[in-house]
A and B are shown apart, each in its own frame.
Chain A
Amino acid sequence: MLNVIQCAQSQEDVAQAEVFWRCEDSMSCTFSGGQLESVGLSNRSATALRVVSGSRIGASFGESPEQVGLLEDAKSSAAFGGSAGYRFASEQPTLCVDAFDPAIADLDIGELVEACLDIHRCIHRLAPDADPSLYCASSVHSVRVATTEGVDVEERSTRWVIRVVIPFADRGTDIGAYGLLLGRSRMSPSDRWIAELVEQRNLGGQPSRPRAGRLPVLLFPQVSNLLIAPLNAGLNGHGFADETSPLCGKMETPIFSKRLTILEDPGHASLFQPRSFDDEGIACRPRTILDAGVLTGCLTDLRSAERLQSGSTGNGIRRSRLSAKIDDPPAPNLMAAVIEPGDEAVSDLIAGIDDGLLVTFIRGLHSSNLAQGSFSVQTDGFHILDGKVAGYLTRTMIAGNIYEDFQTIRALSREVEPTAEGFLSFGGSAPYILLDSVNVTVG
C-alpha cells in the first residue's frame, strides 16, 4: 500500500483519500531535412491526491506519492473545496488486457535510431526526391490508482509510434502526405503502407479549388475521430445534469445516420492504448454509445454520476478540452471511440464522388462551439472531381454541426485505422466516413 494512503487512513480528519499516479518512460527520434535531427529521452512521473476532509474535497499534486507535504496540501485545499457526496473507488478492477511488451521496455536508443533510418531508406527507395519528416517513439506507461476504500491497481502498457510526413512537391506549402502507425509492440511499416503514402504525396502536384456550397466530404479515419470531439462534449454527464447538452432528452432516440455505431470499449485487445480502469480507479466496461444512430449512453465520472444519481460509467479521465494535465480534475470523457466500419472500399468511395473533398486533416476545431456540436475548420486534403484527385486543397473550410451533417452519412469504409488520444482526439479506431453534404467555403 502507498504510504500516503496509509497515512491518510491514520488521520482522523481524513474521511477518504485517492492517489492517481502516472509514469512515462519514453525515447523518441526525429528525422528531417535528410538528417537525423535529435533524440529525446523522457522520464516523467506525476501524482494527484484527492482527500475528503470535513465532507469537503481537496486536491494536491506533485511528482510522486512520496512527495513531502502532499497530504497536508490536499487537506488545506479541502477547507475551501466542494462537498463530496460520493465515495472513491471501492471495487478492485480486473486487468483485462496485457498491453505490456517487454521488448519495448528493453529497447536501446541505438535500435530506435536504426528503426528510424530504415523507414527513411524505404521512402527514399520509392521516392528519391521526397524529403520526409519522421518521428519514431517507444514508451512505457504505468497508471496506478489507490484509495482508502480498498482499491490499489496498476496497469502498465507499452507504445510504439511512427509518424511520417512527406511534403507535397510544391514546398511552398506546409502540407503533405501524412501517415501514422500505432502499436503496442515494435513494428515496421510495410512496403505497401509506404507506397500508399508516396502515392498520396504524388497526388499533391498542384492545388485545386472546389466550388463553394454543399459538397460531399470524405473524412480520413483520424479526421472521423476528431469530429467525434463535439459528440464527446455532448455525452458529458455534467451536461445532462446541467441540461446544457444538446443530447438531453434524446436517450434511445436517433441522433445520427443509422449507418453510425460507436462502441466504448477501452479494454478491447486491439486498441493502441487499452485501459482496464479510469483515472478514478473505476473498471471500464464495453458499452455501445451509439447504436445504428440511436443514442444509448452518456459518460459519467464519480462526480457527475452523483449529480445524476447514477453510477460512474468508468469514464473519469484527467483531461480537459485542450489538455491532459495531471491537475485537470477527472471529467467524463470517451476513453475508446471505436467507430464501426462499413463495407465499402475507400477506393470505391472516392470513385463515387463527382465533386467533393477528401479531408486528411483539419485545423482550428478547438475554436468551434463544440458543446453544441458545431465545427468550422480549415481543411487539408484533396479536391475530388469525377472520382479522381484533381489537386490538393488550399484555403478551404468546412463548417456545420455534427448533429445535422452526420444525419446523412453516405457510406463508411471497410478499412479502419487505430486512433490515439491527443489534442481533441480519442483512442479507439475509425473508418473513412463519407458525409453526403457539408458546407464548403473557399477563400
Chain B
Amino acid sequence: MNQELLAALSGIDVDYTDIRFDEEEKTKIAFEGDDIAQVATYRPRGGHVRAYVGGGKATATFSRIEDARATAEKAARAARILAEHRSKPIRLAEAPILRRSFIASAEHDPRRVSLSEKHELLSHYNRIALAARDVLTTQFIYEDSFSHRSFVNSEGTAVEYDHLIAHILGVIVGRRGDTMQRGFFAVGGSSDFGRMLDRDERLKESLADLDELLDSQPARAGTYPIVLDPIGAAVFIHEAFGHRSEADSMLDNEVLRDRLALGTEIASPLLNVFDDPTIPNCGGTYPVDDEGIEARKTPLIVDGHIAGRLHSRETAAVFDKPVTGNCRASDAGYTPVIRMSNTVIAQGSSSLDDMIASIDDGYYVAGGAGGQGGIDFTFGARWARRIRKGRLEEMVSDANLSGNLFTTLKGISMVGDDLQMLEYFDCGKGSSDGIQMFSRICAGAPHIKLDTATIGGIEC
C-alpha cells in the first residue's frame, strides 16, 4: 500500500504533504432486551491527504485508492489559494523520519474468535441482566474494530500500523414504582478478547448498584467536599484538565496560554498527571500517531505544576516544543487532531477509608456518565453516596458535577493508593470536520478527594 500512496504524491508541487489510507474490519452485535437489534460486519476503507504550500494548508478525504492522486492535487491547489491570504505561514515542527511496520497482535485476538462465540458471550451477559430484579430492558453491544493504516509523507516517512480493540457495553434499565434508572457494564477496551470473558461478578456488581439506585433520591444541589472513585476521577481529569492539555485548545488565545504556561501551579502539589499511549492493553494504546510520530509518554502535571502539553506537528511549531505523537484521527474521513491517549492521575498514598473519614458532610461520587471539558467543565456520575460524619450512607441519583479548571484542581487534598484504568471510554472532539468520536482513548486514576465541587441537583 505504501508504494501506491507514494506514487499518488510523487511530483506534486508542495512544501509538505502526507497521505493516510485506512482499511478497517468491524463486528457489531447488539441486543435490546430479548431482541437481537443488529448483527453486522463492516469493512470501511478510505484515505486522507494533508497538503502545505507557501504557508497555507488544506486537507481532503477520499474513499477509493484510485482517487488518491486527484485528491492530493486538489488539496495542493486549495492550500495554494489559502496561502495567498495568510501573512503568518503555517509551519510543522521537525519530526524524525520513520520507516517501520507496527502490526497488531494479541494473545486472544478477537479476529480469531467466531461470530458465534461473540454472539454467545454477549447473550450470556444479556440474560444475566434481564433476569435481575426489576430490570425492564437492556441494551448490550459487542464491538470489535481492526484498523490497518498506511501513512507516507513527502519527507520520507513510511509506516504501517494497526489498531485492534474490542469491548462490551451494557445499559440496563430498571424500574421500581415510578423510578426508572440505568445501570452500566463495560468490559474489554483492549486488543485482548480474553478480558471480556468470565466477568459475571463485575456485571453482578453493576446490577446491585442499579438495585440500590432504584430506591435512591436525587442528590441535593450545592457545593460539597467529595470523594471521586477511580472511574469518576479518571473522567474528571480527562474533562477538567486533559482537554486543556491539548495544545490546539489554546492556540489562538493568548490570555489562556499565559494562564496555562508551563511551570504554572495549577493543582495541589499532590497531583501528578501524565499521558501515555505506550501503557500496554489500554484503550488509548497505540504505536504511532496519524502524523507518523512514534508514541511516547508526556508528563502533564508534576507536583501540581503544568509540565507539558500534547502536540501535533503544527502546534509543536507554534509553541516551539518537540512533537509528542498525539495527533490522531478516528477514521479515514477525518483530519487528525490532538487527542489524549491514556491519561492518568498517578497513584498517591491515601487510603479510601481516610478520605471518607475526613468528610463531615459531602458525597462519594462513582463512575463517569460522560462530561464536557472547558475552563468550566462538567461531568455526570453513575451514582453517588452521601457522606455524613465520616461515614458512607445512602445512595443518591442524578449527581452531575461542575467545576473550574483554575480552582478545582487546587482543591485536591488527597490522592489514593489504588490506581485503576478504565476498560471503556469514548470521547468526541469538535474539529472542522465535525465531531470525531474516539473509542481508542482511555483514562485512569486512583480515588481522589476534592475539597469543593458543585453538584447540580434538582433540590437545593
Contact = CB atoms under 8 A, between A and B. Distances in A.
B133 interface: no
A139 to B, nearest CB: 11
Interface string A244-261: 101000000000000000
Contacts of A399: 221, 398, 400, 456-458
Contacts of B342: none
B60 A36 contact: no
Contacts of A238: 32
Interface string B331-349: 0010100000000000000
B400 A364 contact: yes
Contacts of A80: 29, 36, 39, 115-116, 119
A287 interface: no
B39 A40 contact: no
B42 A401 contact: no
A364 B380 contact: yes
Contacts of A364: 370-372, 378-380, 400, 402
B75 interface: yes
A67 interface: yes
A60 B180 CA distance: 34
A59 B432 contact: no
Interface in B427-442: 428, 432-433, 435, 437
A228 interface: no
Contacts of B35: 82
Interface residues of B, number: 96
B221 A41 contact: no
A67 B46 CA distance: 12
B113 interface: no
Given A244-B136, A244-B173, A367-B370, A398 B376 contact: no
A57 B64 CA distance: 29
B40 A327 contact: yes
Given A329-B37, A363-B374, A36 B379 contact: no
B369 interface: yes
Interface string B70-97: 0100110111011001111010000000
A78 B456 contact: no
B398 A441 contact: no
Nearest to B36: A82
Interface string A382-403: 0000000000001101111100
A353 interface: no
B410 to A, nearest CB: 14
A372 B59 contact: no
Contact of A367 (B61, B64, B254, B369): B369
B379 A30 contact: no
A362 to B, nearest CB: 9
A135 B39 CA distance: 38
Interface string A26-45: 00111011011111111111
A212 interface: yes
B454 A62 contact: no
A369 interface: yes
Interface in B309-361: 333, 335
Given A133-B252, A323-B437, A377-B456, A443 B30 contact: no
B223 interface: yes
B63 A58 contact: no
Interface in B382-436: 397-398, 400, 402-404, 426, 428, 432-433, 435
Interface string A73-103: 1101111111000000000000000000000
Contacts of B60: 40-43
A117 to B, nearest CB: 7
A110 B30 CA distance: 45
B417 to A, nearest CB: 28
B370 A366 contact: yes
Contact of A36 (B41, B46, B86, B254): B86
A374 interface: yes
A417 interface: no
B107 interface: no
A442 interface: yes
Contacts of B61: 41-44
B146 interface: no
A63 B45 contact: yes
B221 A439 contact: yes
Contact of B435 (A110, A131, A423): A423
A172 interface: yes
A322 interface: yes
Interface in A109-148: 109-110, 113, 117, 131, 133, 135
A378 B82 contact: no
B380 A439 contact: no
Contacts of B397: 369
Contact of A61 (B42, B371, B378, B433): B42
A347 interface: no
A327 B28 contact: yes
Given A242-B136, A327-B28, A399-B458, A43 B256 contact: no
B38 interface: yes
A189 interface: no
B455 interface: yes
A174 interface: yes
Contacts of A44: 46, 61, 63, 333
B117 to A, nearest CB: 11
Contact of A131 (B67, B252, B379): B252
A416 to B, nearest CB: 25
Nearest to A405: B458
Nearest to B334: A42
A33 B254 CA distance: 10
B2 interface: no
A63 B173 contact: no
A334 B452 CA distance: 39
B59 A41 contact: yes
A133 B62 CA distance: 27
A384 B343 CA distance: 39
B1 interface: no
Contacts of A212: 221-222, 460
Contacts of A74: 40-41
B7 interface: no
B400 A376 contact: yes
A69 interface: yes
A26 to B, nearest CB: 9
B78 A109 contact: yes
B445 to A, nearest CB: 18
A219 B375 CA distance: 22
The 8 closest A-B pairs by CB, nearest first: A367-B380, A397-B456, A82-B36, A443-B454, A376-B400, A33-B252, A364-B378, A171-B255
Interface of B: 26, 28-30, 32-33, 35-46, 56-64, 67, 71, 74-75, 77-79, 81-82, 85-88, 90, 115-116, 119, 136-137, 173, 175, 180-182, 221-223, 249, 251-256, 259, 333, 335, 369-372, 374-380, 397-398, 400, 402-404, 426, 428, 432-433, 435, 437, 452-460
17 contacts: A36-B85, A38-B59, A38-B82, A40-B432, A44-B61, A58-B40, A62-B45, A77-B40, A82-B37, A82-B39, A171-B256, A172-B375, A244-B173, A369-B398, A376-B456, A376-B457, A399-B456
Interface of A: 28-30, 32-33, 35-46, 57-64, 67, 69, 73-74, 76-82, 109-110, 113, 117, 131, 133, 135, 167, 170-175, 212-213, 238, 242-244, 246, 303, 322-323, 325-327, 329, 363-364, 366-369, 371-372, 374, 376-378, 394-395, 397-401, 422-423, 439, 441-443
Given A368-B380, A372-B180, A378-B372, 11 more contacts: A35-B88, A43-B61, A43-B63, A63-B46, A76-B41, A77-B40, A82-B39, A326-B42, A399-B400, A439-B459, A443-B402
